[in-house]
């Protein structure tokens, strides 16, 4: 990979490891629906002029029905559930549950008949990854926190289905046009909730900065970098980011938010990452191209 490719890779790996930190800070003051609405509106408005300049909006509009479905599956529900999850879980725990996306994507692909090669070591990878999540939950989660895990797993499912919709129905549509329209659609969907659930109490400056970081850095800039990285290095190499993001999220949670290093993290983290790698090895997995967009 070229020097430019490595620069893009490192930048994107770091950026997509930070949303969990920013979400955890913001949801102490903002309802998850308000946070999502502000995030997608900011990102959508920033990407719109870029999309227009690249003439990718009009071609994407022709596939608006599938883009609406993608927007619902990839953003509307997952972003909201991610906020609810982080009201109950640490950012580190949430990030490691979300790291199971490649595992769930592999299972869904097999069920839909998109990946007949799910066998051998890849099945072992699924079992290892699921064991890692189970240990993480069993050792670190208590009481009402299980609701947070459930919300995170809904996010995982949405993130796993989204790329499949892209691969099956939107693969020939300009990517930037799809993402921009999906963000703008969600801006409209969430606008009433932002209005109705706007905070009545003062909001800390750190929460507003977190919203800005989520919209500008973790969404708008990150997607531009993602498309550049795919063009530079190809989708297969880009998937490696999926295995780095959780490490960044855990480090930030421990260092900045003083979240504890638990037995669940120590044992579950390596198992989830190893399982994800084994279950989605690109050399044998035709679904690899579906997993070139890590989430946050």
Collapsing DSSP states into helix, strand and coil, what is residue 276? helix
Contact between residue 92 and residue 259 where contact means Cβ atoms under 8 Å apart: yes
Residue 282 backbone dihedrals phi, psi, to 5 degrees: -65, -25
DSSP 209-237: HHHHIIIIIIIIIHHHHHHHHHHHH-HHH
Residue 273 tokens, joined: 């990452």
Calpha distance 79→33 (Å, rounded): 9
How much is the pLDDT for 217? 95
State the pLDDT at residue 141.
85
Helices 64-71 + 175-196 axis angle, to 10: 50
Q: Quick count: other Cβ atoms within 10 Å of Cβ 296?
A: 22
Task: For residue 108, give Cα distances in angstroms to 96, 158, 160, 220, 227.
Answer: 20, 11, 8, 28, 25
For each of the chain's 296 residues, which pLDDT tens digit applies? 678 877 888 888 889 889 999 999 999 999 999 999 999 999 999 999 999 999 999 999 999 999 999 999 999 999 999 999 999 999 989 988 888 887 888 788 878 877 667 677 878 887 888 888 888 888 888 887 899 999 999 999 998 888 888 878 888 899 899 999 999 999 999 999 999 999 999 999 999 999 999 999 999 998 888 778 777 766 555 556 666 788 888 889 989 999 988 888 888 888 888 887 777 665 444 444 444 455 66
d(CA 182, CA 40): 9
The pLDDT, as a whole number, for residue 139 is 81
Q: What is the pTM of this model?
A: 0.86
Asked if residues 7 and 67 have their Cβ atoms less than 8 Å apart, the reply is no
Contact between residue 160 and residue 108 where contact means Cβ atoms under 8 Å apart: yes
pLDDT of residue 3: 80
Please name the residue ranges forming H helices in 62-120. 64-71, 77-86, 91-98, 101-111
């Amino acid at each position: 990979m070229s020097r430019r490719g490595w620069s893009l890779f490192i930048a994107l790996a770091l950026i997509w490891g930070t949303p969990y930190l920013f979400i955890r800070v913001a949801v102490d003051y903002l309802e998850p629906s308000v946070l999502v609405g502000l995030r997608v509106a900011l990102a959508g408005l920033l990407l719109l002029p870029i999309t227009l300049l690249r003439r990718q909006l009009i071609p994407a509009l022709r596939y608006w029905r599938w883009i609406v479905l993608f927007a619902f599956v990839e953003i509307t529900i997952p972003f909201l559930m991610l906020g609810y999850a982080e009201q109950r879980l640490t950012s580190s725990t949430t990030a490691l549950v979300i790291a199971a996306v490649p595992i769930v994507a592999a299972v869904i692909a097999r069920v839909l008949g998109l990946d007949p090669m799910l066998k051998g070591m890849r099945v072992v990878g699924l079992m290892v990854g699921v064991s890692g999540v189970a240990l993480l939950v069993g050792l670190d989660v208590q009481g009402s926190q299980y609701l947070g895990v459930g919300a995170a797993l809904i996010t995982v499912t949405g993130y796993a289905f989204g790329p499949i919709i892209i691969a099956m129905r939107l693969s020939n549509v300009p990517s930037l046009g799809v993402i921009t329209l999906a963000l703008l659609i969600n801006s409209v969907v969430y606008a009433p909730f932002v209005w109705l659930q706007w905070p009545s109490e003062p909001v800390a400056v750190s929460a507003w900065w977190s919203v800005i970081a989520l919209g500008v850095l973790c969404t708008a800039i990150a997607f531009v970098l993602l498309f550049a990285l795919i063009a530079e290095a190809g989708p297969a190499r880009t998937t490696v980011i999926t295995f780095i993001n959780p490490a960044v999220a855990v480090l930030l949670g421990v260092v900045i938010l003083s979240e504890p290093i638990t037995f669940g993290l120590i044992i579950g983290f390596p198992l989830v990452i190893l399982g994800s790698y084994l279950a989605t090895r690109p050399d044998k997995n035709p679904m690899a191209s579906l997993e070139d967009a890590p989430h946050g």
